Chains A and B, each alone.
Chain A
């Protein structure tokens, strides 16, 4: 089948403003959108620029807006989106070139919530014990691949880039609800702020956008509740 792609283009070295280019690609229904981009880059236009690596939805490089919603280009097949496909960069981060955005503000927000384990010993002789139930409590938020699909689908983030955003909160959740961790209170303090949990208006775009099917809005809800009640249960 023939797939018509309309792709957002911006070359900071030559373009005053962005535009769209159209391409027609012969494809199978089971081809990934990433496969189509690769074919265009290989055979039609080598200048088209995007990030990609693992090509099966675990590295988080190729989050894009595909037909208006945030998806990984390697996890969307032609049969999922049909023969007319519009590809744009994710929204709310500065555009560097074509589908590549500046990820630094995203990673800065991530780093602001202490996204690392606090506790443990230097030269341990044994593991810290954790029951399967306690492990399950934060399982969902361990799956995050930092692709930014959630944060850049969030209208509150679009409105104000200072908002730490869903991805950072998912990563805070991962540690706050880990029974072994010892810094939950400090992280909750960071999130108990005008740029923290209160900017989440439960729109659920983030949950829909997550390629790992993390219940992002639910996780943020857990954090709101923990702040309101000062309890982690």
Chain B
């Protein structure tokens, strides 16, 4: 078996991984392992913007960003980490700009910013222009820019190397096992440090905005190595996915004045969030949409609503709201502005729906979008292995795979792109720093045994079960019962079902028995990750008897700070999930009722 040695091993080539690579490679030998070509990573699908209080068009402050994020998190976010992220946001955005990122521009040449859900002027409570954007392609520009800088800095990449296990030795991270797609060979990567930047796991759910690749590999691997997963019950449903397909329609559409309408043509968000209306945070809007549909107000009785950004509708409601531009003039929008600010959204709607958003409303429904939970870390991206904040030396996690927690129970739009650049950078710096003072741990002799066993089982299963059937049943039950609204019986049923599916998974046999580009083998291996994360998600959700952020229960409708102001830490055992809890870090902002 081939063995490679680098001081810093970065798993994942999206925004967090590439940002880590740029910084780590300045101070240590570094390799990036990605199961895709890095430019295929899901960062590229992010649309609306990256949050930073630049104040380019109107007054804004990092403190306001911090408070908005704390409030958005429904007070489950750790306030020290949130403050750190929001304080450094402007300098990191400037840094991206100096790496060449082509932001859209204001007439004065500064970076253009737009309003986004939950981001407010803390004095007036009104939406503030904080999302720094490049049309509706901000994630694409971040991913491309960071990859370009990696090319410039001659970063070492192992493209299409699928990491399947973490190696530890003497209680420290010591490397990873990776399968080379082109040959089917397993490789050992020996490292002083390992940074997981593998993204999320929206493919657990039936309707999702997430890429096929979003299968939770990082969290699943660390769970198998005895590391807990934090706050897994909190998974964000983005309000506006294309009906049935789940493809993301950016919140920037509402930032540009778009409104949600029900079957009566009524703009319903003012009943749920009187101040910011359609720009309330995502959990609030997704729930409002479900309630409208429950009341029979879906379009023609179907499970979708309209998102309308036609100039006629936008200008009508902007006038009703008395909405003004930052310079005080009345807010009005033209078809040309929509075309230039939301070109990709228009393209998606043309391609997949045959709808022209400049003249027609878009059919949308909530779509599984973002994991607030993940591998527990602190703001230095070091990984905790228990509820007492014990760190595993040499192990780091950043981006969606990690739970710092800066998003708590609900992430604000634009904070994911901020998270990946802030904590990706942090991870790269910390891992390089650690490497300077550390030596390589000896590799265990049996390092690759577990991976070999896993793949042997998949190649030699009985074949009585089909992986596709298991995946379909998992996605359906998770969508129906561990989705936007939850109740005890439904979640318990979902948990049983997932465990049954895990049993059935043991009877799966891979159809492709070859070695070269065996995507069948890896897709089916990824399904095991999704099943594990579905189990941990359902178990964590079932235990939390309150409603907070994205975890909304019909049977416990209120937030319960006395009993539940705490982070869930979940360990995956054989057919069991062990749950422990740890306190939330609260500094400046005492919990209060969350109203938009």
Chain A residues lying within 8 Å of B110, measured Cβ to Cβ, are 127, 129
Chain A residues lying within 8 Å of B42, measured Cβ to Cβ, are 53-54, 59
Chain A nearest CB, measured from B523 CB (Å)? 8
Contact B520 A47 (CB under 8 A): yes
Interface residue ranges of B84-113 to A (CB < 8 Å): 91, 93-95, 97-100, 102-111
Q: Mark B445-460, 1 if CB is under 8 A from A, else 0.
A: 0000000000000000
State A115–B152 Cα separation when bound (angstroms): 8
Contact B105 A130 (CB under 8 A): yes
B442 interface residue per 8 A CB criterion? no
Contact B102 A49 (CB under 8 A): no
B319 interface residue per 8 A CB criterion? no
- B521 to chain A: closest residue by CB: A46
User: Known: A43-B466, A103-B37. Contact between A180 and B100, CB under 8 A?
Assistant: yes
User: Known: A53-B42, A54-B211, A135-B105. Contact between A116 and B148, CB under 8 A?
Assistant: yes
Contact A58 B44 (CB under 8 A): yes
Chain A residues lying within 8 Å of B515, measured Cβ to Cβ, are 13
- B149 to chain A: closest residue by CB: A116
Contact B149 A49 (CB under 8 A): no
Chain A nearest CB, measured from B277 CB (Å)? 28
Contact A14 B514 (CB under 8 A): yes
- A12 to chain B: closest residue by CB: B516
Contact B514 A47 (CB under 8 A): yes
User: Known: A56-B247, A58-B45. Contact between A175 and B100, CB under 8 A?
Assistant: yes
Chain A nearest CB, measured from B106 CB (Å)? 8
Chain A residues lying within 8 Å of B91, measured Cβ to Cβ, are 123-125
B140 interface residue per 8 A CB criterion? yes
Q: Mark B39-81, 1 if CB is under 8 A from A, else 0.
A: 1111011000000001000000000000000000000000000
- B154 to chain A: closest residue by CB: A111
A60 interface residue per 8 A CB criterion? yes
- B150 to chain A: closest residue by CB: A116
B interface residue count range (under 10 / 10 to 19 / 20 to 34 / 35 or more) = 35 or more
B321 interface residue per 8 A CB criterion? no
Chain B residues lying within 8 Å of A120, measured Cβ to Cβ, are 97-100
Chain B residues lying within 8 Å of A52, measured Cβ to Cβ, are 212
Stretch at the interface among A139-147, A152-160, A185-193, A198-206: A139-147
Number of interface residues of A (CB under 8 A): 65
Contact B211 A59 (CB under 8 A): yes
Contact A128 B97 (CB under 8 A): yes
State A93–B11 Cα separation when bound (angstroms): 27
Chain B nearest CB, measured from A58 CB (Å)? 5
Chain A residues lying within 8 Å of B140, measured Cβ to Cβ, are 58, 143, 145
Chain B residues lying within 8 Å of A162, measured Cβ to Cβ, are none
Contact partner of B517 among A46, A100, A130, CB < 8 A? A100
State A127–B95 Cα separation when bound (angstroms): 8
Chain A residues lying within 8 Å of B44, measured Cβ to Cβ, are 54, 58-59, 145
Contact A56 B348 (CB under 8 A): yes
Chain B nearest CB, measured from A227 CB (Å)? 22
Interface residue ranges of B129-164 to A (CB < 8 Å): 134, 137, 140-141, 144-145, 148-149, 151-152
Please give the residue numbers on chain B whose beta carbons come within 8 Å of chain A beta carbons, in ascending order: 36-37, 39-42, 44-45, 54, 91, 93-95, 97-100, 102-111, 134, 137, 140-141, 144-145, 148-149, 151-152, 182, 211-213, 245, 247, 344, 347-348, 351-352, 466-468, 510-512, 514-520, 523
19 other A-B residue contacts (CB within 8 Å) besides A11-B514, A145-B44: A13-B516, A46-B512, A47-B511, A49-B512, A49-B517, A49-B520, A51-B36, A54-B211, A56-B247, A59-B42, A77-B351, A114-B152, A116-B100, A120-B99, A127-B97, A131-B105, A138-B102, A145-B39, A174-B102
A-B pairs, 8 with minimum CB distance: A46-B511, A117-B100, A129-B109, A120-B98, A42-B468, A116-B148, A116-B152, A47-B512
